[in-house]
Amino acid sequence: MQLRFHPCAKEALFLAVLGFGAVAGLGVFLVGSNPLAVLVALGAYAISAALVGFYMLRTYPHARLGLCNRVTYARLVLTAALLAPLWGSAAPWAILSLALLALVLDGVDGWLARREGLVSAFGARFDMEVDAALGLVLAVNVWASGVVGLAVLILGLPRYVFVASAFIWPWMARPLPPSQARKLACAIQIGALIVLLVPGLPSVLADIVLLVAAVVLLWSFGRDTLWLYRKRGQIAVSAPQS
């Protein structure tokens, strides 16, 4: 497939540019006049949008992106903007509002893809990677807030540990079947991180929320790892999907 002839190329470029402006605006909303913090968010978004665009133009099978992928782009914008508070001071409720919006939009893109007839492996992967990035960014924001310690990274790193493990055990890179339990675990992960961002949350409650979410998330990844181990050698290698 020649990238310049893809029917979605102009639409994807428009969304990328629009998202760049949105990240800048949201960055200023969060941290005010802090150029470094806004530039960090913009840099992360630019790299992410470039990777998404390249992958989409190579693999996306439809002639239009539709609302489904636009929603996922919006979630990418929110995720990138939430990097700004890590480099500047932001009101806790401002961070919480963007995180809540990202959570509300999660799941909408998949529903829209089915409704619009635009389901694709690209869309599923795009959604999954934005979920993983959001989890990591929120986990670092929670750690920076001081509510809990570095243990909160347990809620942000499993996806990346899972992917990295495929370099050691190739069978970890094989495809997984769709799972509602996996989607629920992801929702619990993001929901727990948002709860941990609530200002004034008692430390005892924060520890309980962290523990419950960590158990659910580790169960989900452990379940997928066990399934892959049992099926090793029976299925073709593909991209990790947990």
Please give the pLDDT value at position 175.
84
Mean pLDDT of the region 89-118: 91
Q: Which two tokens stand for residue 197?
A: 């961002």
Mean pLDDT of the chain: 90
- First and final C-alpha spacing in the chain: 28
pLDDT over threshold 70, residue 2:
no
In this structure, is residue 241 part of a structural domain? no
Please give the pLDDT value at position 4.
52
The rounded distance, in Å, linking the Cα atoms of 24 and 84 is 10
pTM: 0.91
In this structure, is residue 44 part of a structural domain? yes
Write out pLDDT tens, residues 176-233: 888 889 989 999 999 999 999 999 999 999 999 999 999 999 999 999 999 999 988 7
Q: Which domain holds residue 139?
A: 3-231
| Closest by Cα among 220, 45, 209, 205 to 134 | 45
In this structure, is residue 96 part of a structural domain? yes
Please report, for the domain that includes residue 221, its CATH number.
1.20.120
Q: Is 161 exposed, middle or buried (0-12, 13-18, 19+ CB in 10 A)?
A: exposed
Write out pLDDT tens, residues 42-85: 999 999 999 999 999 889 999 899 999 999 999 999 999 999 99
In this structure, is residue 163 part of a structural domain? yes
Please give the pLDDT value at position 220.
94
In this structure, is residue 238 part of a structural domain? no
